Amino acid sequence: MKFESQFIGQSGAFLDAVERASRAAAMNRPVLVIGERGTGKELIAERLHRLSTRWDEPLVTMNCAALPETLIEAELFGHEAGAFTGATKARAGRFEEADRGTLFLDELGTLSMGAQERLLRAVEYGEITRIGASRPIRVDVRIVAATNDDLPALAASGEFRADLLDRLSFEVITLPPLRVREGDIGVLAEYFGRRMAAELDWERWPGFAPHVMDALEDHLWPGNVRELRNVVERAVYRWDVPDMPIAHVQFDPFDSPWRPRPPEHRRNSAPAAHAAPAPGGPAATGPASVNFDTIEDLRAAVDAHERAILAHALGKHRWNQRQTAKALGLTYDQLRHCIRKHGLMEGEEESA
């Protein structure tokens, strides 16, 4: 598997995690990488390998959640011909492929108890046995494992082997979610935006309009950096006026008035699926929600909300003022008055 190797960010929490990975890389010990989806666990695994003494040996990846339980052990440890139905010839497993290198086990928490037991022996003794074989094979493999599960809690409840957790947790690197990485959202958005603009052969990078950057900063990013990249790249490629700042962003690509509704029995069993969006969810494509308890100047608050609505609508309609006026239920003259009132004149004469 090929990884992207860029580390983009400046927050202290993020840089601390990267520094810890750099220090651990030189140690020939197992490492656990913990983090939410989209936080960059694969990048940390690659860093641990590339900065180690094994850098010129194989880096083998296996997603433990991508295979049925009946095949995981065969994938990890290999099998002999005739070991089970369909095993027509012998096959080396991921451990043998990673010999002298690094084995990256993603979604470690999904391993079956049987696979955990065999993995424990491989970590402890450096030996694996193919399924259907009688003799063990010596392997020299460094294990890096990743998960978004709470492994100590799973071990306490008996769902994960505590002794295996002890063997794998020489070092534990916990990656911070994007929402706590102060200052990194803007840096990442700028990076992904510029890269997408270059891919589209734009002559220059116009940047984001202020209300779009505010929306990006306010979003909670449950999918972390991976979600941010998709949102930014989608906003850039959909933008048809490359000489003007990008003024519209859509967080939920499935958001549509024609989105199919789930069957009645699914709606009844999961009522939360159509609940009001959380702050930073799909509604964040429009004006941010207002905390009424903090309002001290009603006129200023109303003006700010009106300006946010206007900026969002103009961006959504690519600064086509007649379409924007129609969408907001205004006359063309009323819209132009609002544009002047709120100082939204930049680029207006070109696109009027």
Cα separation, 238 vs 293, in Å, equals 37
Same domain, 114 and 214: no
Residue at which a domain ends, from 153, 176, 199: 176
4 in any annotated domain: no
User: What is the pLDDT, as a whole number, of residue 177?
Assistant: 95
Token pair 């010999």: residue? 99
Which residues, in sequence order, are CB contacts of 278 under 8 Å at separation 6+? 220
Same domain, 253 and 313: yes
Q: List the domain range (segments joined by +) for residue 317.
A: 182-270+277-351
User: What is the pLDDT, as a whole number, of residue 318?
Assistant: 66
Judging by beta carbons within 10 Å of its beta carbon (0-12, 13-18, 19+), is residue 181 exposed, middle or buried? Answer: buried
336 in any annotated domain: yes
Residue 343 has pLDDT above 90, yes or no: no
Residue at which a domain ends, from 150, 176, 202: 176
Q: What is the pLDDT of residues 50-79, one digit of tens each?
A: 999 999 999 999 999 988 877 888 889 988
Among 67-76, 92-101, 142-151, 165-174, which stretch is predicted with the lowest mean pLDDT?
Answer: 67-76
Among 106-115, 182-191, 283-292, which stretch is predicted with the lowest mean pLDDT?
Answer: 283-292
Widest CA span in the chain: 85
Same domain, 35 and 157: yes
What is the CATH classification number for the domain harbouring 344? Answer: 1.10.8.60
Same domain, 44 and 155: yes
45 in any annotated domain: yes
1 in any annotated domain: no
Same domain, 166 and 187: no
Same domain, 265 and 289: yes
Same domain, 163 and 46: yes
Number of domains comprising the chain: 2
Q: What is the pLDDT of residues 287-339, one digit of tens each?
A: 445 566 677 788 887 888 888 888 878 777 767 788 888 888 888 888 888 88
213 in any annotated domain: yes
Q: What are phi and psi of 287, to 5 degrees?
A: -60, 145
202 in any annotated domain: yes
What is the CATH classification number for the domain harbouring 23? Answer: 3.40.50.300
Same domain, 206 and 305: yes
Same domain, 172 and 187: no
Among 7-11, 14-18, 100-104, 171-175, which stretch is predicted with the lowest mean pLDDT?
Answer: 7-11
Same domain, 88 and 104: yes
Q: What are phi and psi of 234, to 5 degrees?
A: -65, -40
318 in any annotated domain: yes
Same domain, 188 and 291: yes
Same domain, 138 and 121: yes
Residue at which a domain ends, from 129, 149, 176: 176
pTM: 0.74
CA atoms 169, 173, 176, 177: torsion sign: negative
Token pair 């049925």: residue? 68
Half-sphere exposure (CA, 13 Å, Cβ side) for 155? 14
3 in any annotated domain: no
